[in-house]
Copies of this chain bind each other. A is one copy, B any other.
Amino acid sequence: MRSEQPSEVVSVACAQLAPVLGDVDRNRARAAAAIEHAAARGARLVVLPELCISGYAFADRVEARRLAEPADGPTAQAWSELARRHELVIVGGICELDDEGAVRNSAVLIDASGLLAVYRKTHLWDREQLIFAAGEEPPRVLDTEAGRVGIAICYDAFFPEVMRGLALEGADVIAVPTNSPLLAPPTQPLSVEVVLAIASAHVNSVFVAQADRSGHERGIDWAQASAIVDPGGTLLAGPVDGASVLVAECDLASARDKALGARNDVLADRRPELYLEAFRSTPTTKETVS
Residues of chain A at the chain B interface (Cβ within 8 Å): 116-117, 122-123, 125-127, 129, 137-138, 140-143, 148, 155, 158-166, 168-170, 183, 187-190, 192, 195-196, 198-200, 202-203, 232-235, 258, 261-272, 274-283, 285-290
Contact = CB atoms under 8 A, between A and B. Distances in A.
7 contacts: A138-B271, A143-B288, A164-B279, A165-B275, A168-B282, A190-B195, A270-B283
A196 to B, nearest CB: 5
Contact of A274 (B138, B158, B169, B190): B138
Contacts of A277: 138
A234 B187 contact: yes
Contact of A278 (B142, B161, B189): B161
Nearest to A167: B283
A289 B158 contact: no
B233 A195 contact: yes
A169 B129 contact: no
Most chain B beta-carbon contacts within 10 A, residue among A161, A190, A196, A277: A161
Given A126-B263, A126-B264, A275-B138, A168 B198 contact: no
Contact of A159 (B127, B142, B270): B270
A166 B141 CA distance: 28
Nearest to A134: B271
A195 B189 CA distance: 11
A148 B287 CA distance: 11
Contact of A202 (B161, B196, B275, B286): B196
Given A188-B235, A266-B158, A267-B283, A170 B202 contact: no
B188 A234 contact: yes
Nearest to A169: B289
B203 A195 contact: no
A277 B279 CA distance: 11
A20 to B, nearest CB: 25
B189 A269 contact: no
B189 A190 contact: yes
A202 B198 contact: no
Contact of A161 (B164, B169, B183, B283): B164
A276 B137 CA distance: 12
Given A161-B278, A164-B160, A262 B169 contact: no
Nearest to A278: B165
